[in-house]
């Protein structure tokens, strides 16, 4: 069963139990406390329902909007821990029910954004990791060397499982090359094979900082890279 559906079922069951207990407890109380029991149950039910709606629908919507903003070169630059520029390069991987977008901004901020959930900050001005910055710079230089392969991009559909797309975000707007099949790049003579290898190395470094946050398909990819 889908993890989100299971969570919703468990929370709904909890609400029913809490509400039921609250109603039964009022059988032995005076009128005012008897009113407070059901009221508390209703309050808990509304709170849990709000949480389920937020996790099930709002978080994926926010995540998708954030991903589009990054790839369109319109990411917010007023966050203390985030990038101070919107230009850079990005690599987009598709997995089953998950997407990972690795962004290397021109101020050396490196972030992996996951759809439909959270993100991992690899390096920033506040917490700078030299190994991540060096790996990010290697990837950025390699992709900009291949600039001729990029064409203008205005649509940023989620990648399908097994696909990878490379992006650049600069003064000209956004450009993309791909999608292409990840497996076909492994060990190939394609001009993008080196970029794919550098991207996996950087993804491995970033996910290694908080492996419990990264979705399991992404961990499987970086573990394969280590092996």
Mean pLDDT by 10 residues, the chain (227 residues): 52 55 51 53 48 49 86 87 92 90 95 87 90 96 95 90 94 91 86 93 90 82 64
| Contact assessment for residue 145 and residue 168, using Cβ atoms and an 8 Å cutoff | no
- pLDDT for 42 equals 52
- pLDDT for 59 equals 63
**Per-residue DSSP letters for 40-108?**
HHHHHHHHHHHHHHIIIIIHHHHHHHHHHHHHTT------SSS-S-S-EEEEEEEETTEEEEEEEETTS
> Is 3.30.1560 the CATH classification of the domain at 77-226?
yes
- pLDDT for 197 equals 92
- pLDDT for 225 equals 54
Structure tokens of 74?
């319109």
Q: Which residues pair with 91 in a beta bridge?
A: 102, 166
> For 108, left (φ over 0), alpha (ψ -120 to 50), or beta?
left
- pLDDT for 76 equals 86
| Contact assessment for residue 94 and residue 162, using Cβ atoms and an 8 Å cutoff | yes
- pLDDT for 40 equals 52
- pLDDT for 212 equals 80
- Domains of the chain, by residue range, sit at 3-62, 77-226
- pLDDT for 65 equals 85
- pLDDT for 200 equals 92
């Amino acid at each position: 069963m889908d993890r989100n559906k299971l969570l919703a079922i468990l929370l709904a069951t909890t609400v029913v139990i809490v509400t039921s207990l609250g109603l039964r407890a009022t059988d032995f109380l005076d009128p005012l406390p008897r009113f407070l029991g059901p009221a508390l149950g209703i309050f808990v039910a509304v709170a849990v329902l709000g949480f389920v709606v937020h996790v099930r629908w709002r978080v994926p919507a926010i995540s998708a909007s954030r991903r589009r903003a990054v790839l369109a070169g319109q990411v917010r630059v007023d966050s203390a821990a985030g990038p101070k520029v919107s230009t850079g390069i990005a690599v987009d991987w598709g997995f089953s029910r998950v997407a990972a977008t690795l962004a290397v901004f021109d101020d050396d901020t490196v972030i992996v954004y996951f759809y439909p959930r959270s993100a991992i900050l690899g390096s920033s001005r506040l917490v700078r990791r030299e190994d991540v910055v060096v790996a990010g710079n290697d990837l950025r230089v390699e992709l900009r060397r291949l600039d001729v392969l990029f064409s203008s991009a205005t649509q940023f559909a989620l990648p399908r499982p097994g696909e990878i797309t490379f992006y650049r975000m600069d003064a000209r707007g956004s450009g993309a090359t791909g999608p292409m099949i990840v497996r076909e790049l492994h060990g190939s003579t394609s001009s993008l094979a080196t970029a794919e290898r550098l991207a996996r190395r950087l993804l491995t470094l970033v996910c290694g900082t908080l492996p419990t946050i990264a979705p399991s398909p992404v961990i499987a990819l970086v573990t394969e890279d280590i092996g």
